[in-house]
Amino acid sequence: MQIFGVDIGGSGIKGAPVDLDEGDLVQERHKVLTPQPATPDGVADGVRQVVGHFGWTGPVGLTFPGVVTGGATVRTAANVDKSWVDTDARALFSERLGGLPVTVVNDADAAGVAEMRFGAGRGRKGTVILLTFGTGIGSAVFVDGALVPNTELGHLELNGHEAEKRASSKAKEDQGLSWDRWARRVQKYLAHVEMLFSPELFIIGGGVSRKAHRFLPLIEGVEAEIVPAQLQNNAGIVGAAMHAAEHG
């Protein structure tokens, strides 16, 4: 079974058809830059470009970088334009895609669901937390395989700052941090999350997961197992398609 998945991020919008039996992309993903400012109309146009690139005419699952309630309504917009708040994203995207059936889910939740089914969390029980390090820090919390939706742990306070302002991969780039200095910030953040939730496993996702060997060995003092996401930066696309198959 194939469904189209789109992963909307603060810097890029990427998508591809997904084989839901294999948990993999059927074709190489297509990406466009997220418009700045990332308004609803601008982002919807970007989504239309990505879906149109493949001539897709079936169901589409989309992720959104914020809290999504009722499968449609955006409640937070930390890394996109604030005009998204209270927008019916499902209706907007469906209209812009010519009436195609659409589902919308939090981006980190989508990535987490994909990793739990096809990746680093497969078969794992207990508390598992996926964290995506990108423009911000997204989170997905699972207890015995069941998702606790819309957790947004990137907004925890850490040393007087919002965690994602200090430890996201964007913060690393913007502040010119070495891998060692950034790893120390990630370590403090993971220790803080561990204190609150006592997970057995952290899965580290987002684009920076491709370079996990550069920073994960530098992290000390965290008792939970820490592993990179296996689906890496495709996890959101796969999870978006999975969500569409189950909730569309």
Task: Identify whether residues 132 and 221 lie together within a single domain.
Answer: yes
Beta-carbon contacts of 50 under 8 Å, excluding residues fewer than 6 positions away, are: 6, 13, 14, 15, 30, 31, 32
The predicted pLDDT at position 48 comes to 98
Any domain includes 70: yes
Task: Identify whether residues 127 and 43 lie together within a single domain.
Answer: no
Task: Identify whether residues 22 and 63 lie together within a single domain.
Answer: yes
Task: Identify whether residues 52 and 132 lie together within a single domain.
Answer: no
Any domain includes 115: no
Task: Identify whether residues 129 and 66 lie together within a single domain.
Answer: no
Any domain includes 114: no
Any domain includes 73: yes
Supply 159's token pair.
Answer: 């040393």
CATH number at residue 155: 3.30.420.40
The predicted pLDDT at position 159 comes to 86
Any domain includes 22: yes
**Which residue has better confidence, 65 or 158?**
65
Task: Identify whether residues 150 and 177 lie together within a single domain.
Answer: yes
Task: Identify whether residues 243 and 211 lie together within a single domain.
Answer: no
Task: Identify whether residues 84 and 160 lie together within a single domain.
Answer: no
Task: Identify whether residues 128 and 190 lie together within a single domain.
Answer: yes
Supply 86's token pair.
Answer: 């209270």
Quickly state the pLDDT bin for 209 (edges 50, 70, 90).
very high
Any domain includes 75: yes
Any domain includes 117: no
Tell me what the mean pLDDT of segment 10-20 comes to.
Answer: 96
Task: Identify whether residues 6 and 102 lie together within a single domain.
Answer: yes
Q: Which residues pair with 143 in a beta bridge?
A: 127, 146
Task: Identify whether residues 211 and 240 lie together within a single domain.
Answer: no
The count of domains in the chain is: 2
pTM surpassing 0.75?
yes
DSSP codes, 141-206 = EEETTEEE----GGGSEETTEEHHHHHSHHHHHHTT--HHHHHHHHHHHHHHHHHHH--SEEEEES
Any domain includes 25: yes
Residue ranges making up the domain that contains 168: 122-229
pLDDT at 81 over 90: yes
